[in-house]
Structure 1
Amino acid sequence: MASSLTWLLLFITVHSAGGFMYYMTQRCVFNSTELKDIEYIMSYYYDKLEYTRFSSSVGKFVGYTELGVKTAEQWNSDPSKIAMVNAQKEAYCLNNVGLNYQVALTKSVAPTVRIYSTTPPAGSHPAMLVCRVYDFYPKTIKVSWLRDGQEVTSDVTTTDEMEDGDWYYQVHSNLEYTPRSGEKISCMVEHASLKEPLITDWNPSMSEAERNKLAIGASGLILGLVLSLAGFIYYKRKARGQNPFRTVL
């Protein structure tokens, strides 16, 4: 289930003087461990503006500002400097790429699955379920719906894998359906991190919206009872001619 991958190794050297910032970055951009698939990039910045860049794909320095053009011309005229930076593609990038590529390929994180109901768009079905699958790695994943153990192939829409941050991904799958009494609906996830498909059953007893409404209603009921009790105590004490706010020790 592996797919083409691209990473960026970024190393920064920073110097500051007089409130301005001068720094240099080195990048190894790659999609395989083959030397031909690696690009070494060295960039020079002053006050947040890149003024000169060397790329192993170009084979020389390129200037982006007046200072950068002059600097690039000077460095390009020095064969020893060009040879030195060209050598960094193999000396600097190759070993680091190999290590990071293997670490990333062997990293595997099982997905978290959550099913909830939502209002369907105007269509032929009165109900819709959403299977949210998130925090998984690697990217490739298969999400499908089961209805009484049989895979559902119609009225299903699934998003592409979306980046979730910190290497993780997420995907959403929607099922529009007409409920039947006693049926069992499940979301099945197949992923490299799982030894067997992960099947999560939908519990239709109470949706999240209904639970929220119930919690709000219960809170309101309790608050009403407390206020009623306080009002009753106030009334009884006042009827007896007592200060309703006096503390009895």
Structure 2
Amino acid sequence: WRTIVGCLKKPKASLWWGGKRSHIQCLSLPQISSVCSGHLGKRLGAETVPKEMQPEVTVHPERTPSLQLRNLLLCSMTGFYPGAIEIRWFRNGQEQREGVLATGLVRNGDWTFQTVVMLEMTPELGDVYTSLLSPVSVEWRAHSEHSWRKVLSGVAAFLVGLIFLVGIVLHQVKTIHICFFHSFCGSEVQL
């Protein structure tokens, strides 16, 4: 069979089937996707062309986040079909339009696509970043990397203080015990 020259997901797309040209005009992206996969499904087999697949989404910072330091927040999506996908970033419920970068769509070779959309950001304690792509939404929360260190330091200081306090109490009990027996028994008490 002859190669399909174009099956574009744009408001206006052309298909080439064996030298015959048919036009698809003024169709929505899902309609074009349906027509394209329908024609391809007839030629390749209906099970070959997927109907629709939701993306697998992960959101993570480019490097270990530090509060008040610039970083990139990455939203990686893979395994979705069709390729028409809208990704928007929100910080504490407000849409972020500046500092948004995208790799563009990359074909996986199995009809599915992948892309990465990044947000340049400076996280502050309590910030909630949301990567919204209809119908999936993924959150990332800014928190202090030092918070666990502070908790562990506090616990360690508490334990050292507790051990010190127990040592003082035991020393005092021993001293009181000696004085108590010494006053009643005189010099006969030997410890």
TM-score normalized by the length of structure 2: 0.51
Corresponding residue number in structure 1 for 2:104: 160
Deviation at 1:161, TM superposition (A): 0.6
How far does the alpha carbon of each residue in 1:6-58 deviate from its partner, in whole angstroms, 9 at most, with x for none?
xxxxxxxxxxxxxxxxxxxxx233357xxx83127xxxxxxxxxxxxxxx99x
Task: For 1:97-136, list aligned pairs within 5 A.
Answer: 99-100=42-43, 103=46, 107-119=51-63, 126-136=70-80
Q: Distance in 2 between matches of 1:185 and 1:138?
A: 26
Task: For 1:144-223, list aligned pairs within 5 A.
Answer: 144-190=88-134, 197-204=135-142
Specify every segment of 5 or more residues in structure 1 that has no aligned partner in the other structure, as ranges: 1-26, 41-55, 58-94, 191-196, 208-249
SS in structure 2 of the partner of residue 99 of structure 1 = helix
Specify every segment of 5 or more residues in structure 2 that has no aligned partner in the other structure, as ranges: 8-14, 22-37, 146-191
Distance 1:107 1:97, change over 3 A: closer
How far does the alpha carbon of each residue in 1:134-168 deviate from its partner, in whole angstroms, 9 at most, with x for none?
10001111111111112100011012110122111
The letter of the residue matching 1:201 is E
More strand by share: 1
Corresponding residue number in structure 2 for 1:28: 2
The letter of the residue matching 2:18 is E
Contact persistence 2:82–2:112 (CA under 8 A): yes
Contact persistence 1:140–1:161 (CA under 8 A): no
Larger relative contact order (Cα-Cα within 8 Å, sequence gap ≥ 6):
2
Q: Distance in 1 between matches of 2:140 and 2:123?
A: 12
Count, aligned residues:
117
Distance 1:97 1:179, change over 3 A: closer
Q: Distance in 2 between matches of 1:206 and 1:108?
A: 39
SS in structure 2 of the partner of residue 29 of structure 1 = coil
Contact persistence 2:125–2:144 (CA under 8 A): no
Percentage of identical aligned residues: 24
The letter of the residue matching 2:139 is D
Corresponding residue number in structure 1 for 2:16: 37
Corresponding residue number in structure 2 for 1:142: 86
Deviation at 1:183, TM superposition (A): 1.6
Deviation at 1:119, TM superposition (A): 3.7
TM-score normalized by the length of structure 1: 0.40
SS in structure 2 of the partner of residue 165 of structure 1 = coil
Deviation at 1:174, TM superposition (A): 0.8
Deviation at 1:118, TM superposition (A): 1.0
Distance 1:189 1:97, change over 3 A: closer
Deviation at 1:100, TM superposition (A): 4.2
Q: Distance in 1 between matches of 2:122 and 2:89?
A: 14
CA RMSD of aligned residues (A): 3.6
Contact persistence 1:108–1:136 (CA under 8 A): yes
